[in-house]
Amino acid sequence: MTGMQQVHVLLFDAGTDSEGIHSLEVAGNTLVLLFENPDDAERYAGLLEAQDFPVPSIERMDRDEIEQFCRDAGYEARFIEQGFMPSNDEEHLFMAPPELNRDVSNWKEDASIQDQALEDSDQSSNPNLDELRQRLEGLL
């Protein structure tokens, strides 16, 4: 296969200082879903919205770049291929968010606390999404 594979991820407040990527906590791991099919990403976003989450935007990104971002941030990237069928309880979460999902009402506060911690530390465990976005835009 030639060229870069594109995936679709869910971002909250895309393009703002408080931008965040949607993730799931599963068995102590933070998972980021990479949807092959934009329709699957849209459907998932609609389910989140139905649970009173902020409405995420669907962003198309290069799979290698976002997987590298996840590794750098200590997240686990999960590729959800077109026609994916869950085979266990954990995989059902890739098709529909859990009823008891992480409370995102204070995720902006969490981010600002993290930003302050990053200023005190030379090493960043959570790379800047703006930097990632600029790198990704450079690939398009």
- Domain positions in the chain are 6-139
Mean pLDDT score, 118-137: 51
The closest of 42, 72, 79 to 57, measured between CA atoms, is 42
**Ramachandran region of residue 75, left (φ > 0), alpha (ψ -120 to 50) or beta?**
beta
The H or E element that residue 15 is part of is none
Size of the chain in residues? 140
Mean pLDDT score, 37-41: 96
Q: What is the pLDDT of residues 40-99, one digit of tens each?
A: 999 999 999 998 888 899 999 999 999 999 999 999 999 999 999 999 888 888 888 876
Q: What is the pLDDT of residues 16-32, one digit of tens each?
A: 988 899 999 988 999 99
CB atoms within 10 A of CB 97: 19
Determine the Cα–Cα distance for residues 57 and 62; give it in Å rounded to an integer.
16
Query: Are 26 and 102 spatial neighbours (Cβ–Cβ below 8 Å)?
Result: no
Q: Residue 101, exposed/middle/buried by CB under 10 A (0-12, 13-18, 19+)?
A: middle
